[in-house]
Chain A
Amino acid sequence: MSSSTHTSTIGAIGAPSRRNTELALLVFAVLIPIFAYANVGLAINDEVPTGMLGYGLGLGLLAGVAHLIVRRFAPYADPLLLPLATLLNGLGIVLIWRLDQSERLQQASTFTAGAPNQLMYSALGIALFVGVLLLLKDHRVLQRYTYISMVAALVLLLLPLVPGLGRNVFGAKIWISVAGFSIQPGEFAKIALAVFFSGYLMVKRDALALASRRFMGLYLPRGRDLGPIITIWAVSLLILIFETDLGTSLLFFGLFVIMLYVATERTSWIIIGLGMSVAGAVGVASFSSHVEARVNAWLDPFGCYADSGACEQIGQSIMAFGSGGVLGTGWGQGNSDLIGFAANSDFIFSTVGEELGLAGVMAFLLIYGLIIERGVRTSLAARDPFGKLFAIGLTGAFALQIFIVAGGVMGLIPLTGMTMPFLAYGGSSVIANWALIGILIRISDTARRPAPSPAPSPDAEMTQVVRP
Chain B
Amino acid sequence: MNKPLRRIAIFCGVLILALLVRTNWIQYVQADDLSSRKENKRVDIERYSIKRGDIIVDGKAITGSKDTDDSFFQYKRTWKNGPMWAPVTGYASQVFGTSQIENLEDGILTGTDDRLFFSRTLDMLTGKKKGGGNVVTTLNGAAQKAAFEGLGDSKGAVAAIDPETGAILALASTPSYDPSTFAGRSNKDGDAWNDLTNNPDKPMLNRALRETYAPGSTFKVVTAAAALEHGLYDDVDEKTKTPEPWTMPGTRTELPNHGGNNCEKASLREAMRVSCNTVFGKIGSDLGKEKMIETAEKFGFNEEQFVPVRSNASVFPTELDPSQTALSSIGQFNTSATPLQMAMVTAAIANDGTLMEPYMVSELKAPNLDTVEKHAPKTLSEPLSKPNAQKIQQTMETVVNEGTGTNAKIDGVTVGGKTGTAETGENNEGTPFAWFISYAKTDSGSPVAVAVVIEDSNADEAVSGGGLAAPIAKDVMKAVIDSKG
Instruction: Give residues in A with beta carbon < 8 Å to B.
Output: 103-104, 107, 258, 261-263, 265, 302, 305, 315, 318-319, 321-326, 335, 338, 353, 357-358, 361-362, 365-366, 368-369, 372-373, 376, 379-380, 385, 388-389, 392, 395-396, 399-400, 402-403, 406-407, 410-412
Contacts and interface: CB of A to CB of B under 8 A. Distances in A.
Contact of B34 (A262, A265, A323, A376): A323
> For chain B, what secondary structure do more than half of its interface residues adopt (helix, strand, loop), or is it mixed?
helix
Contacts of A369: 12-13, 16
B118 interface: no
Interface stretch (B35-43, B52-60, B104-112, B366-374): B35-43
A396 B34 contact: no
Given A319-B42, A325-B31, A407-B18, A361 B23 contact: yes
A318 B4 contact: no
B4 A261 contact: yes
B3 interface: yes
Given A261-B4, A323-B35, A389-B1, 13 more contacts: A104-B71, A262-B8, A302-B39, A322-B30, A365-B20, A372-B12, A373-B12, A380-B9, A407-B22, A410-B22, A411-B22, A412-B18, A412-B22
Interface-centre pick from B2, B8, B22, B23 (highest chain A CB count, 10 A): B23
Contact of B35 (A262, A302, A322, A402): A322
A395 B4 contact: no
A305 B26 contact: no
Interface residues of B, number: 37
A322 B23 contact: no
A63 B349 CA distance: 87
A262 B12 contact: no
Interface string B81-104: 000000000000000000000000
Contacts of A366: 16
B39 A315 contact: yes
B12 A380 contact: no
B219 to A, nearest CB: 51
Contacts of A373: 9, 12
B5 A324 contact: no
Contact of A358 (B3, B6, B27): B27
A335 B26 contact: no
27 contacts: A104-B71, A261-B4, A261-B8, A262-B8, A302-B37, A305-B39, A319-B39, A322-B26, A322-B31, A322-B33, A323-B31, A323-B34, A323-B40, A323-B42, A324-B27, A326-B28, A335-B41, A358-B23, A362-B24, A369-B13, A376-B9, A379-B5, A380-B2, A403-B16, A410-B19, A410-B23, A410-B26
Contacts of A263: 1
Nearest to A265: B4
B117 interface: no
Question: Which 4 A-B pairs have CB atoms at the shortest separation, nearest pair first?
Answer: A322-B34, A358-B27, A103-B71, A323-B35
B205 interface: no
Contacts of A379: 5
B2 A365 contact: no
B37 to A, nearest CB: 6
A19 B275 CA distance: 106
B5 A376 contact: yes
A407 B19 contact: yes
A380 B16 CA distance: 20
B5 A353 contact: no
Contacts, number: 128
B1 A265 contact: yes
A258 B14 CA distance: 14
Interface-centre pick from B8, B12, B24 (highest chain A CB count, 10 A): B12
Nearest to A403: B15
B18 to A, nearest CB: 7
Nearest to A325: B31
A402 B23 CA distance: 14
B171 to A, nearest CB: 38
A396 B12 contact: yes
A270 B28 CA distance: 34
B42 A321 contact: no
B306 interface: no
A321 B35 CA distance: 9
Contacts of B32: 322
Contacts of A323: 31, 34-35, 40, 42
Contacts of A305: 39
A172 to B, nearest CB: 22
A1 B106 CA distance: 74
Contacts of A322: 26-27, 30-35, 40
A14 B223 CA distance: 110
B34 to A, nearest CB: 2
Interface string B441-467: 000000000000000000000000000
A325 B40 CA distance: 14
Contacts of B2: 380
Nearest to B37: A319
B438 to A, nearest CB: 54
Contacts of A324: 27, 31
A357 B27 contact: yes
Interface-centre pick from B5, B7, B30, B37 (highest chain A CB count, 10 A): B5
A252 to B, nearest CB: 16
A379 B4 CA distance: 11
Contacts of A376: 5, 8-9, 12
A385 B2 CA distance: 10
A388 B26 contact: no
A403 B15 CA distance: 6
Given A322-B35, A399-B16, A358 B28 contact: yes
Contacts of B34: 318-319, 321-323
A103 B74 CA distance: 12
Nearest to A391: B5
Contacts of A392: 5, 8
B22 A325 contact: no
Contacts of A357: 27
Nearest to A102: B71
A396 B6 CA distance: 12
A297 B37 CA distance: 17
A396 B35 CA distance: 34
A324 B26 CA distance: 10
Contacts of A389: 1
A406 B22 CA distance: 10
Contact of B27 (A258, A325, A380): A325
Nearest to A311: B39
A335 B71 contact: no
Contacts of A380: 2, 5-6, 9
Nearest to A410: B22
B27 A412 contact: no
Contacts of B39: 302, 305, 315, 319
Interface-centre pick from A321, A388, A395, A402 (highest chain B CB count, 10 A): A321
Contact of B1 (A319, A321, A385): A385
B45 interface: yes
